[in-house]
Amino acid sequence: MKKQYLALIILGGFLLATGFINRNDYYFNVLNILILNGLVVIGLSLLMGYAGQVSLGHAAFYGLGAYTSGILTAKYGLSPLAALLAAQGVTLIAALLIGIPALRLKGHYLAMATLGFGIIVYVVFKELISLTGGPSGLVGIPPLQVAGFTFLESKQYYFLFVGVLLVSLLLALHLAHSPFGRALLALHDSEAATMALGYDTGRLKLIVFLLSAALAGLAGSLYAHFAMFISPMSFTFIHSVKFVTMVVVGGVASLWGALLGAVVLSLLPEVLTVFEDYDVLIFGTILVVIMIFLPEGLFKGLGNLFLKHKKT
Amino acid sequence: MEEILQYLFSGLTSGAIYALIALGFTIIYNATEVINFAQGEFVMLGAMLTATFCGLNLPLPLAFALAILITALAGILIERLAIYPARKASPITLIIITIGLSILIKGLAMFIWGKDPLPVPAFVGERPISVLGATIVPQSILVLATALIAVLTLEAFFKKTLTGKAMRACAANRLAARLLGIKVEPLVLLAFALSAAISALAGVIISPITFATYDMGTMLGLKGFSAAVLGGLTSSTGAVLGGFILGILEALAAGFLSSAYKDAAAFIILILMLFVKPEGLFGTKEAKKL
Amino acid sequence: MKKWFLILSVGLFLLASASVWAGEPYRIGGLFSITGPTSFIGEPERNTLVMLVDEINKAGGINGHPIEVIIYDTEGEETNAVKKITKLIVHDKVLAVIGPSRTGTTLAVIPFVERYKVPLISCAAGIKIVEPVKPWVFKTAQSDRLAVKKIYSYCQKHGFKKIAIITVSNGFGQSGREQLKALAPQYGIEIVADELFGPKDVDMTAQLTKIRAKNPDAVVCWGTNPGPAIVAKNMKQLGMKQQLFMSHGVASKKFIALAGEAAEGIILPAGKILVADQLPDDDPQKKLLLDYIAKYKARYGEEPSAFGGHAYDAMLLLKHALAKAGADRAKIRQALENARGIVGIHGIFNMSPKDHNGLDEKTAFVLVRIENGDWKLIK
């Protein structure tokens, strides 16, 4: 765990230094989106890597957070902080509704159920026009305001997001390395064995699922205030798949790996714009190649390569 | 009454397409435990190639055969280049590989065929046929007939031929199949070719109705996947019924509830079905592995 | 980075070595959905802008200043559009931005152009972009309201009172649906059925069966390819004889190719570009239209679509503003707002502090009927 703290401090230092050095709002915006992806991915990594469950509907939780925050502030004039808390409530209730029945089943039924859930939520975003603004989106979301301070610039959001990310990561690391986390890992390997050790596996899985949904909802709320405009296009099935892809490309087995995946897959499209219209082809190829040659993800794969190199 | 019949016709047409795609999913899933997210792209390739060959004024049967053959080759290529090298990886890694492939194929199609939908002429006449007050176009009947023939042929292949039986054995228990002297690798390759071909067939027969667009595969793949899940993911009969059920549910939801919420309605029922009968309509209960 | 910028810069460099530029280049940005589901909108816009800028530079630039254009792809997605708009404004320091292509992406970038105070000329149609008026935001695409007015006037003249609408469930369809519902009472029209279809749906007979049961006088379908072509075919299948109206979203030859026989007799509002050769010779837009069509065909080997025209008009307005204002964002905004009588592809623009679109239904749309696989201007 000490090593983890050290890594966390290094990451925090690096992010803060970046924030102070950088003067370009474009980079801040790219990093802001990256950090929000990172938040979702931390939760998803706990769910996938530790509880061995896949969710194909996390964009829906992200969207529920964003839309609840957006609607309550833009249409009902609630303060952003109160709306954010309400959004957490909505996300958790939705996660409970889908998680309780789905997690009782064996196999990958959570993946199937969340897939369907994601599509239903997307349809609701699109069709509940009087509330959500429909396919053309929800306008008029105010910027975030906390204790009288209004976040206006990308740089201010950046420091806020970094803070939220570090705290979430700290909590997630704690969880992963606690007896609870070890129970989860055991769950990943053998559900029956974990049950035999006296754990209520159903509850373990449900707690992690709720946690990951809450993190996605939180990221969504923050996104709504940062972008001040949301539309259903940002919360599609494709986005859910993108989150899962980030976790797997980085490495299912660790939180750091998942974060690395978020970094790589968020930055790659920005870098690839150099290739103009060909960027999709290159993106697809890179994804396939990484997975063929580093099937356990970038984090572990690169680590192994590094170790090998050191030995020779 | 006419209306219900009309909704049924509409649902059967979409359902037949979903059924064929769902079959493609189950074939690959049975062989490799991989959910192939590039399945929809096979459908797109089938449709696009049909549009191209029809544009070249090739005789229709030749155009169809070529479209299906080339897509099957693409399936083989994909297995050799991307799935086989990673065969030892976990299913989720393989699934992400298929996602990457899907992005890649879609991108290539965009470059080859452009971004606009391509027209495909109707294979049979366009004069609608009236049945008990409801109408159906000949192309829809063709879609239904083709889907049924394809399903029956596949069923016969799996039940009657040695290769088909070997594939089923492999799906049931790969290790045991190996011990019995069944070579697994060529069967996996065959599964990809077969799966690609049947999805391409779906693309071919649907192209005059929906036209051919480079990004048509994603949505169709998603619907096909849902149908496959509904059917239990391992059973081909289940996949076919799953496809028809999904198609008919959508049409009925659009007709009787609200066309705005038809997709949601179909998926709510899908989820409820999963909760009530988790192994799918025709899935077999998984043996517990310790 | 979409290196059109690079290509253009190299071109500029060659040009510059031949003729000496009097001034610093004016750097502008373009933001289009070049890939993704709405790429059919973004691509012709990108092509048109690149072509037009080349043309302006060859003709000596604006007051001796060459134009340098940097174009990024939004993939039609909001999050991406937000990143790219800041890149254009902060990183590339452009004077003004043309685009984005979609209403959604435009609404997404508006908070940012307002924050950084950069003029934006959107190529999207949604009325929310300019209503209420935002100081820094303009648009060239005709609002859907004008298209609906054209259709309803025709309905009124021909005694169609009961109308069924079937719209696609995306931003374009939603905007049309809202206007169709809002304007109906003014024309004494009753909407008897209001159905939707998904952009990738394969069969619309269920919705049309419902519509048929209501026995409307006419059907209005609002969407972009390929959905409306399926609607047209399905209507024929169901033996529905009502007059079918489409939106300007399908105003391209591709629609006729897709719908085939079923396209015959359909009436739709369209930009004049569709029937440029059928316009009377005294139409002030005719020469520009024919010129644009010829040049686009020569360069890209295909007919330009209506979407390209939106980018054309945006560049035309920006050229006018740059010539007046020079390299000053606030002055450019002012000049855009005061632009009057600008003859463009999709109408004659008369901007004002109250109207940041500046089009009226007289010049923005004509009604056309599809006859023998071609457009026929309804006079």
Check whether C19 has a pLDDT greater than 80: no
Q: Output the pLDDT for position B31.
A: 85
Long-range pairs, C358-361, Cβ under 8 A, ≥24: C359/C142, C359/C143, C359/C146, C360/C146, C361/C146, C361/C149, C361/C150
How much is the pLDDT for A104? 77
Instruction: Tell me which residue in A129, A135, A273 faces C170 most closely, judged by beta carbons.
Output: A135
User: Distance (Å, rounded) from C-alpha A126 to C-alpha A140?
Assistant: 17
**Is residue A303 within a helix (H) or strand (E), and if so which, with residue range?**
helix A298-311
Using an 8 Å Cβ cutoff, are B205 and B150 in contact?
A: no
Cβ-defined contact of C90 to A230 (cutoff 8 Å): no
What distance in Å separates residue A54's CA from the closest CA in chain C? 25
| Shortest Cα distance, chain B CAs vs residue A148, angstroms | 41
- Domain assignment present for residue B281? The answer is no
CB–CB of A27/A38 below 8 Å? no
**Given the DSSP bridges, would you call strands C218-222 and C190-197 parallel, antiparallel or unpaired?**
unpaired
The candidate with the shortest Cα–Cα distance to B87, out of B184, B167, B168, is B184
Q: Which domain holds residue B205?
A: 2-276
User: A45, A105, A119, A130: best mutation site toward chain B, by most B Cβ within 10 Å?
Assistant: A119
Pairing of strands C342-344, C347-349: antiparallel
Q: Which of C34, C76, C171 has its CB closest to that of A135?
A: C171
Residues whose CB falls within 8 Å of the CB of residue A203, separated by 6 or more in sequence, listed in order:
none
Question: Which distant-in-sequence residues (6+ apart) come within 8 Å of B244 by Cβ?
Answer: B11, B12, B15, B16, B18, B19
Rounded to 5 degrees, φ, ψ at C344 are: -120, -175
φ, ψ for residue B231, nearest 5 deg: -85, 0
pLDDT for res A270: 86
- Cβ-Cβ contacts under 8 Å, A274 against chain C: 1, 3
Q: Is C80 among the domain residues?
A: yes
Nearest Cα to Cα of residue A63 among A105, A118, A113, A130 = A118
Mean pLDDT for all residues in chain C? 90
Compute the nearest-CA separation of A102 from chain B (Å). 7
Give the chains touching B; criterion: ≥3 Cβ pairs < 8 Å: A, C
Residue C190 DSSP SS3: strand
Instruction: Give the separation between CA A116 and CA B274, rounded to whole angstroms.
Output: 10
Asked whether residue B275 carries a pLDDT value surpassing 50, the answer given is: yes
Q: Which amino acid would we find at residue C62?
A: I
Hey, which bits of C151-297 come out as E strands?
162-168, 190-197, 218-222, 243-245, 267-270
Whole-number pLDDT of residue C3:
52
Looking at the 3D structure of chain B, how many domains does it have? 1
User: What phi and psi values does residue A208 have, to the nearest 5 degrees?
Assistant: -65, -40
CA distances from C198 to A127, B58, C192, C295 (A): 11, 33, 21, 36
SS3 state of residue B217: helix
Q: Do C229 and B126 touch (CB under 8 A)?
A: no
- Domain shared by C131 and C205, yes or no: no
In three-state secondary structure terms, C7 is helix
Find chain B residues with C-beta within 8 A of A102's C-beta.
274-275
Work out the number of other CB atoms within 10 angstroms of the CB of residue B256.
Answer: 14
Any idea what the Cα angle at residue C114 is, between residues C108 and C120, rounded to 5°? 75
Between CA A85 and CA A71 the distance in angstroms is 13
> The domain spanning residue C263 has which CATH number?
3.40.50.2300
Is it the case that residue B70 has pLDDT exceeding 80?
Answer: yes
Are the beta carbons of A137 and C107 separated by less than 8 Å?
Answer: yes
Interface contact flag, C206 B11, Cβ < 8 Å: yes
Stronger pLDDT, A187 or C65, i.e. the higher one? C65
The answer to whether residue C326 sits within a structural domain is yes
**Which amino acid does the sequence have at A25?**
D
* Candidates B210, B214, B216, B249, partner chain C, best to mutate (most C CBs within 10 A): B210
Cβ-based contacts under 8 A for chains B and C: 98
Closest-CA residue in chain B for A135?
B260
User: CA–CA separation, C306 vs C249, rounded Å?
Assistant: 9
Instruction: Lay out the sheet containing C366-371: strands in order across.
Output: C190-197, C162-168, C218-222, C243-245, C267-270, C366-371, C374-377
List all residues 6 or more positions away from C378 whose beta carbon is below 8 Å from its beta carbon.
C154, C267, C366, C367, C368, C369
Task: Give the helix/strand (H/E) hosting C9.
Answer: helix C4-18
pLDDT in tens, C22-76: 688 999 999 999 987 788 889 999 999 999 999 999 999 999 999 999 999 998 8
Strand pairing report for C162-168 and C190-197: parallel
Size of the A and C interface in Cβ pairs below 8 Å:
92
Nearest CA in chain C to A143: C111
Under the banding of pLDDT at 50, 70 and 90, the label for residue B287 is very low
Residue B82 pLDDT > 50, yes or no?
A: yes
Please compute the mean of the pLDDT values over residues B180-200 and round it to a whole number. 91
**A41, A259 contact by CB (below 8 A):** yes
Label residue B168 by pLDDT band (50, 70, 90). confident
Of C241, C270, C299, the residue at which a domain comes to its end is: C270
Q: Render C67-112 in DSSP notation, one character per residue.
A: EEEEEEE-TT-HHHHHHHHHIIIIIS--S-EE--SSHHHHHHHHHH
- Interface residues from chain C to B (CB-CB < 8 Å): 35, 37, 39-40, 43, 169, 195-198, 200, 202-203, 205-207, 209-210, 213, 225-226, 229-230, 233, 236-239, 254, 257-258, 260-261
Distance, CA of B160 to CA of B155 (rounded, Å): 8
* Contact between chains at C198 and B219 (C-beta distance less than 8 A): yes
- Residue A124: pLDDT band with limits 50, 70, 90: very high
Nearest Cα residue in chain C from B212: C226
- C186 or B33, higher pLDDT: C186
How, if at all, do strands A145-146 and A149-150 pair? antiparallel
- For A146, other C-beta atoms within 10 Å of its C-beta total 12
Residue B262, pLDDT score:
83
Chain B: closest CA distance from residue C77 (Å) = 15
Contact B210 C238 (CB under 8 A): no
Q: Average pLDDT of chain A?
A: 89
Percent of chain C with pLDDT over 90: 72
Please check whether residue A274 touches C, CB under 8 A: yes
Cβ-defined contact of C90 to A228 (cutoff 8 Å): no
DSSP secondary structure letters along C15-69: HHHHS--SSPPEEEEEEE--SSTTHHHHHHHHHHHHHHHHHHHHTTTBTTB-EEE
Strands C120-122 and C190-197: unpaired
Return d(Cα B116, Cα C254) in angstroms, integer.
Answer: 8
pLDDT of residue A217: 97
Please write the tens of the pLDDT for every residue from B30-56.
888 888 999 999 999 999 999 999 999
Using a CB-CB cut-off of 8 Å, the residues of chain A touching B104 are 280-281, 284-285, 288
Cis, peptide link before residue C100, omega less than 30° from 0: yes
Considering only CB atoms, C34 lies closest to which of A154, A233, A277, namely A277
Which of the residues C177, C203, C207 would you substitute to probe the B interface, choosing the one with the greatest number of B C-beta atoms within 10 Å? C203
Q: Is residue B290 part of a domain?
A: no
How far, in Å, are C33, C50, C52 from residue C47 at the CA level? Answer: 12, 5, 9
Of the listed ranges A42-46, A241-245, A267-271, the least confidently predicted one is A267-271
Which one is predicted more confidently, B171 or A259? A259
Residues A25/C90, Cβ–Cβ less than 8 Å: yes
Average pLDDT (B265-276) is: 81
Query: Are B274 and A244 in contact (CB < 8 Å)?
Result: no
CA distance C353 to chain B (A): 38
Residue C176 confidence (pLDDT) above 80 = yes
Hey, which residues does C220 pair with through a beta bridge? C165, C245
Nearest-Cα residue of chain B relative to residue A116: B267
Residues of chain C found within 8 Å of residue B207, distances taken between Cβ atoms: none
In angstroms, the CA B120 to CA B207 distance is 6
**Structural domain for C352, as ranges:** 4-142+287-361
Nearest CA in chain B to A196: B290
**Residue C137: enclosing H or E segment and its boundaries?**
strand C137-139
Distance from CA of B129 to the nearest CA of A (A): 34
- In tens, the pLDDT along C326-359 reads 999 999 999 999 999 999 999 999 999 999 999 9
Instruction: Tell me the domain boundaries of chain A.
Output: 2-235
Note the pLDDT of residue A38.
96
What average pLDDT does this structure show over A42-52? Answer: 88
Closest partner CB to B9 (pick from C43, C205, C230): C205
Nearest CA in chain B to A282: B104
Q: Which two tokens stand for residue C192?
A: 């008897």
Task: Tell whether C97 and C151 lie within a shared domain.
Answer: no
Judge if C296 and C322 occupy the same domain: yes
Residues of C with CB under 8 A from a CB of A: 1-4, 34-35, 72-73, 76-80, 82-83, 86-87, 89-91, 103-104, 107-108, 110-111, 115, 126, 128, 169-171, 173-175, 196
Flag the least confident range among A224-238, A243-257, B259-273, C243-257. B259-273
Q: What average pLDDT does chain B have?
A: 87
CATH number at residue B192: 1.10.3470
Query: What is the total residue count of chain B?
Result: 290
Do A24 and C110 make contact, defined as CB atoms within 8 angstroms? no
Q: How far is the alpha carbon of A227 from chain C, nearest alpha carbon, in Å?
A: 7
Closest Cα to residue B6, out of B142, B186, B134?
A: B134
pLDDT of C12: 53
The pair of structure tokens assigned to A299 is 């984090």
Per the structure, how many domains does chain C have?
A: 2
Mean pLDDT score, C74-93 = 90
For residues C178-207, give the mean pLDDT: 92
Look at the alpha carbons of A112, A117, A122, A126 in this order and tell me if their dihedral is positive or negative.
positive
* Banded pLDDT at C8 (limits 50, 70, 90): low
Find out whether B23 and B239 touch, Cβ atoms under 8 Å: yes
Mean pLDDT computed over B246-269: 86
Round to whole Å and give the CA distance between A310 and C172.
58
Provide, as residue numbers in chain B, all residues whose Cβ is less than 8 Å from the Cβ of A281: 104, 107-108, 111
User: Contact at 8 Å (CB) between B198 and B28?
Assistant: no
Residue C376 lies in a domain: no
Name the token pair of A173.
């690391």
pLDDT at C75: 87
**Domain ends where: C243, C270, C297?**
C270
Q: Which residue of A has its CA nearest to C81?
A: A227
**One-letter identity of residue A171:** L
Q: Does B96 reside within a domain? A: yes
pTM of the prediction? 0.88
pLDDT at residue C10 is higher than 80: no
Residue A178 has pLDDT above 90, yes or no: no
pLDDT of residue C6: 53
Q: What count of other Cβ atoms lies within 10 Å of the Cβ of residue A131?
A: 14
Give me the mean pLDDT over the A191-202 stretch: 73
CA C37 to chain centre: 16
